[in-house]
Each structure stands twice: as structure tokens, then as C-alpha cells.
Amino acid sequence: MTAALHTLLEHAERKRDDALAALLRAEAAVRRLQAQADQLRAYRDDYRTRHPALGGRSVGIEALRCHQDFMQRLDQALHQQADQQQACEARHTVLRGELVAEEMRVASVRKLLERRGQAAQVQASRQEQRRSDEGAQTQFRRSDEGAHGAGWRLGSEAVPATR
């Protein structure tokens, strides 16, 4: 029984460790996506400051369209990045819940092992006490038989012998 519980504990710990590793990977992905989003925002803001008509300069319509098209693509990229980051954060939340569940399983199995160990100790203590009591009782009977057996005579009357 104990071997099965230890095997169960090892399995639960392995699943918990796998859940922890997945959570750590998800956290790294969230950080990486956040850093990418920050870089993309900084690039967009920097590119916005390089507007061709900034400062009253005259530029061709083609340069303005090119700049606006690229700004739109940057905004689209930021929206996609935000969607990816939101999905990654949702996955992170799910994985955190799974890790908590696995940690609770490990704790439950450990508690069960602890209770079984305590029950085994109580049982062993009771058996030891029983053996000790039986041994003392046997010894008492032997000493009682030796003391009383020699002191009593057989016959019509039973009278204790004087010591």
C-alpha cells in the first residue's frame, strides 16, 4: 500500500513539475510579447515624429501616402500583438490554475501518506503494548504459579504453607 502511495506521489509531483514548467514558459512568452509590443509602440511613435510634412515642409502626395500606409500597418501590427498578448495571458491564467490544482493533489497525497504513516505507528505501538502486556501477564502467571503452587498442599483441606 505504501509503495503504491509513493508511486502516486511521484506521479503527482511529476505532473506538478510539468505544470510549473509550462507556467514558466507562458510567463516568459508574456514577457517576450510585452517587450515586443513596447518596441513596436516605440518604433511607431518614433516613425510618427518623422512625418514628412512635419514642420511645414512641403512633400509630395506619394510620400504622405507611403507614410500613412506604413503607420496603418504599424497600428495593425500593434493590434495583432495585443491580441497575441491577450491570448498568451489567458493561457498563463489557465496554466496557473492547473498548477494550483496539481499542487493541491501533491499536498493531498502527502497528507494521506502522513496519515497512513501515523496510523501504522499507532498500530505498531498497540501491537508492542499488547506483546508487552501479554509478556507481563505470562510472567506474572509463572511467578504466581511458582509461589502458590509450592505453598498449597493437596488433600482434603487446602492450607497455605508458612514461609
Residue 51 lies in a domain: yes
Answer whether residue 156 is part of any domain: no
Backbone angles phi, psi at 152, to 5 degrees: -105, 140
Number of separate domains in the chain:
1
Secondary structure of residue 50 in the 3-state scheme: coil
- Residues spanned by the domain of 11: 2-131
Phi first, then psi, for residue 156 (nearest 5°) are -75, -30
pLDDT of residue 52: 76
Residue 155 counted as domain residue: no
For position 9, what pLDDT does the model report?
92
Q: Full-prediction pTM beyond 0.85?
A: no
Query: Is the pLDDT reported for residue 113 higher than 60?
Result: yes
What are the tens digits of pLDDT across the range 14-37?
999 999 999 999 999 999 999 999
Q: What is the pLDDT of residue 155?
A: 53
Instruction: Check pLDDT > 80 for residue 67.
Output: yes
Q: What pLDDT band is residue 149 in, cutting at 50, 70 and 90?
A: low
Query: Would 147 be classed as within a structural domain?
Result: no
**158 is a domain residue:** no
Determine what percent of the chain is predicted with pLDDT higher than 70. 86
d(CA 86, CA 105): 29
CATH number of the domain at 107, please: 1.10.287.1700
- Which grid cell sits at 1? 500500500
Q: Is 106 a domain residue?
A: yes
pLDDT of residue 140: 81
What is the chain's mean pLDDT, rounded? 87
pLDDT at 5: 87
Between the alpha carbon of residue 113 and those of residues 84, 105, 127, 129, 144, the distances in Å are: 43, 12, 21, 24, 46
If we measure between CA atoms, which residue out of 24, 33, 27 comes closest to residue 82? 33
- pLDDT single digits (tens) 76-86: 999 999 999 99
Q: Which of 126, 122, 35 is nearest to 84 (CA)?
A: 35
Block residue for cell numbers 501518506: 113
Residue 16 domain-assigned (yes or no)? yes
Residue 14 near residue 62, CB atoms below 8 Å? no
Asked if residue 158 has pLDDT above 90, the reply is no
Q: What type of residue sits at position 38?
A: D
Does some domain include residue 80? yes
